[in-house]
Amino acid sequence: VNDVVTESRVIEIPTDKLINRNPATGEVIGEYKIASPDEVRAAVAHARVAQAAWAQVPLRKRVAVIRRFMALLTEKKESVAATINAEAGKPRVEALLTEVMVVLDWARFCAQNAYRVMREESLSHGNLVMKTKRGMLVSEPVGVVGIIAPWNYPFSIPATETLAALVTGNAVVIKPSELTPNSALKLAELLHEAGVPEAAVQVVIGYGPTGSALISGGIDKVVFTGSVATGKRVAAAAAEQLIPCLLELGGKDAMLVLEDADVDVAASAAVWGAMVNAGQTCISVERCYVHDSIYTPFVEACADKITKLTIGNGADDDVCVGPMISTRQLEIVESQVEDARSRGAHVVVGGKRLPALGEHYYAPTLITGIDRSMRLMQEETFGPVLPVIPFDKDEEAIAMANDSEFGLAASVWSGDSGHGERIARRISAGAVMVNDVISQFGISEAPHGGVKKSGIGRAHGLMGLREMVVQKYIAVERLPRVKRLWWYSYGKQFEHQMLAFVDMMFAKGTSRLTGALKSTPALWRKRL
Ligand code: NAD
């Protein structure tokens, strides 16, 4: 076994086999051999060979493969949702909504926009002396992209990143979370069936060390989604290899409910936004700031709605909130709620485990009486907890929302969309929604990513596709038989001429120009 030191304790992790369990029932749903560092390196080497061929496949054929994948996923949506439900615990309908549909729409976006990203662009030159060159930008795939994924969206996260990489001509090696390997295996199976060569999409299974083996295994870029703590290790390891990294990290998203918001609609949004996927969503509502004038009815509405949620195994039709992924994640949530309670916070609803349902259930929790010293306000909670905090002036709400080391997403709620938009512009986050929450993840055109400690780079949108290419500049000189004026040799006359050119291009007046131009033919003849 390897030892992995987390912030709070040392966890022993196996090096031979990985056992996958259903978080709702504890039932074993898969057993896998862990990929050794040599196997990871070999996977990357195979991917490199496959990538060279895949990049030569004409774009329209790669797009056709993506469209076949869409058709297959549409056909097999129920079994994919069932796979996700069985290993991540979320309700099947949520798996359809937040994973399958997100991936289908992203595949649609890739198919429609890959041409735009891969199209060669001509580049006109502003500099007078460079006008004899024809410039162009050529987009090329990065090469072999290593994708390290978390457990909370075990299908949609690796799928969106993989599709972006494939359509632009890259090969991919995916290291799924140790808690949810089946969804990534299902993704690879569907892609292979759609026509992606086996070696162009591979899955390596294991814990953190398998992820680090991937980063040092010869990849050209790492795309990481996970916690800030691991993200820092990934960035350091990528720096060691001098490869670029895209980091999609944690969040502490604020929801600002302004004086003129619809209380009932905003309360429904807060409850869904905080509890969807049992709160284990990077852009879930983690802090809800509500104007004093509507604070009491808002808290009452949230309490009422939370009490009505059905909690249980997400495989059952009526269940709204499933289990948490693991005991470890449950303990983090529990310790933050206890910290808040011990400092005077008031648990309005929930605030306890639900052992009668199983080992990993935590009651959807509404909590008030919060202040910024509490861990619940500082750290990512990643559980079904909705802290509600009153405010008096918009300025105060903006300051509290921005008072975080995270900056992933946020939402603003107002009956006046102009008012909401003005506040949205002042929130430090990668995305802010006015009168909606979380759904930007399902808008393929919208770039997804954070500021501050929430990450570096963007997934989704054109920016997400462009993360998977490198732009090469090519310049073709139109006068191949003419020597450049700035080549050797140098001398006083050449210096005068350069001074004149600088003046001509960047200074007012052209005093030196005439003399300089006169001497040009003579200088040209002197070029070595
Ligand atoms: P995590 O950081 O524990 O693990 C993420 C992945 O990294 C896993 O596959 C893990 O095995 C791997 N890993 C662990 N140590 C590694 C190392 N040293 N080198 C390389 N890989 C390593 O995160 P998690 O618990 O799986 O996911 C939850 C976190 O992910 C939350 O913080 C959440 O906010 C974040 N997240 C962010 C986004 C986003 O888009 N910004 C989306 C989903 C989840």
Task: Tell me the per-residue pLDDT of 342-358, one tens digit each, with 9 for 90 and over.
Answer: 999 999 999 999 999 99
Name the average pLDDT for the chain.
95
Read off the tokens for 404. Answer: 């975080």
Residue 3 pLDDT more than 50?
A: no
pLDDT recorded at residue 116: 98
CA–CA separation, 457 and 459 (whole Å): 7
pLDDT recorded at residue 519: 72
pLDDT digits (tens, 9 = 90+) for 253-303: 999 999 999 999 999 999 999 999 999 999 999 999 999 999 999 999 999
The residue to mutate among 32, 152, 232, having the most atoms of ligand 1 within 8 angstroms of its beta carbon, is 152
91 within ligand 1 shell (Cβ under 6 A): no
182 close to 32: Cβ distance less than 8 angstroms: no
Q: 385-395 burial, b if ≥16 CB within 10 A, otherwise e? A: bbbbbbbeebe
CA–CA separation, 165 and 226 (whole Å): 19
Q: Where are the beta strands (DSSP E) in 66-207?
A: 121-123, 133-141, 144-148, 171-175, 201-203
Interhelix angle for 394-402 vs 417-424, to 10°?
40
26 close to 359: Cβ distance less than 8 angstroms: yes
Count of H helices and E strands in the chain?
18, 20
Query: Which single residue is written with the structure tokens 């990290």?
Result: 249
219: helix, coil or strand? coil
The residues that bridge with 475 in the sheet, in sequence order, are: 135
- What is the distance in A from the centroid of ligand 1 to the CA of 315? 25
381 within ligand 1 shell (Cβ under 6 A): no
- What is the distance in A from the centroid of ligand 1 to the CA of 49? 28
Model confidence, pTM: 0.95
State percent of the chain over pLDDT 90.
90
Q: What is the mean pLDDT of residues 395-420?
A: 98
CA–CA separation, 305 and 300 (whole Å): 9
CA–CA separation, 210 and 86 (whole Å): 23
pLDDT recorded at residue 397: 98
Q: Which amino acid appears at position 212 of this protein?
A: S
382 within ligand 1 shell (Cβ under 6 A): yes
pLDDT recorded at residue 7: 45
The torsion of the CA quartet 463, 169, 222, 433, rounded to 10 degrees, works out to: 20
286: helix, coil or strand? strand
Q: How many CB atoms lie within 10 A of CB 424?
A: 20
Indicate the pLDDT class of residue 65, thresholds 50, 70 and 90: very high
Residue 4 pLDDT more than 90?
A: no
Read off the tokens for 172. Answer: 């991919």
Which atom in ligand 1 lies closest to the alpha carbon of residue 153? 43
Q: Dihedral sign, CA of 377, 382, 387, 393?
A: positive
Which atom in ligand 1 lies closest to the alpha carbon of residue 175? 9
322 close to 31: Cβ distance less than 8 angstroms: no
Indicate the pLDDT class of residue 10, thresholds 50, 70 and 90: low
Which atom in ligand 1 lies closest to the alpha carbon of residue 228? 32
Residue nearest to atom 39 of ligand 1 (CA): 248
The residue to mutate among 3, 6, 183, 227, having the most atoms of ligand 1 within 8 angstroms of its beta carbon, is 227
Which atom in ligand 1 lies closest to the alpha carbon of residue 4? 15
293 close to 328: Cβ distance less than 8 angstroms: no
Q: CB under 8 Å, gap of 24 or more: what pairs does 118-125 form?
A: 118/59, 118/168, 118/169, 118/469, 123/473
408 within ligand 1 shell (Cβ under 6 A): yes
pLDDT recorded at residue 8: 45
pLDDT digits (tens, 9 = 90+) for 442-499: 999 999 999 999 999 999 999 999 999 999 999 999 999 999 989 999 999 899 888 8
Q: What is the CA radius of gyration of the chain?
A: 27
Q: How many CB atoms lie within 10 A of CB 334?
A: 19
Residue nearest to atom 9 of ligand 1 (CA): 177
211 within ligand 1 shell (Cβ under 6 A): yes
Residue 167 pLDDT more than 80?
A: yes
pLDDT recorded at residue 511: 59
CA–CA separation, 156 and 149 (whole Å): 10
CA–CA separation, 16 and 26 (whole Å): 21
Q: Known catalytic residues?
A: 248, 282
Residue 81 pLDDT more than 90?
A: yes
Nearest CA to 388 out of 301, 452, 276, 324 is that of 301
pLDDT recorded at residue 524: 77
471 close to 139: Cβ distance less than 8 angstroms: yes
Residue 122 pLDDT more than 80?
A: yes
pLDDT recorded at residue 504: 82
For residue 230, with 0-12 CB atoms within 10 Å meaning exposed, 13-18 middle and 19 or more buried, which class applies?
Answer: buried
Residue nearest to atom 12 of ligand 1 (CA): 208
Query: Which single residue is written with the structure tokens 């909590």?
Result: 367
The residues that bridge with 313 in the sheet, in sequence order, are: none
Please indicate whether residue 527 or residue 61 has the higher confidence score (pLDDT). Answer: 61
249: helix, coil or strand? coil
22 within ligand 1 shell (Cβ under 6 A): no
- What is the distance in A from the centroid of ligand 1 to the CA of 474? 38
pLDDT recorded at residue 526: 79
208 within ligand 1 shell (Cβ under 6 A): yes
181 within ligand 1 shell (Cβ under 6 A): no
68 close to 53: Cβ distance less than 8 angstroms: no
448: helix, coil or strand? strand
Q: What is the mean pLDDT of residues 180-204?
A: 98
Q: Dihedral sign, CA of 392, 398, 401, 402?
A: negative
CA–CA separation, 200 and 141 (whole Å): 13
The residues that bridge with 434 in the sheet, in sequence order, are: 412
81 within ligand 1 shell (Cβ under 6 A): no
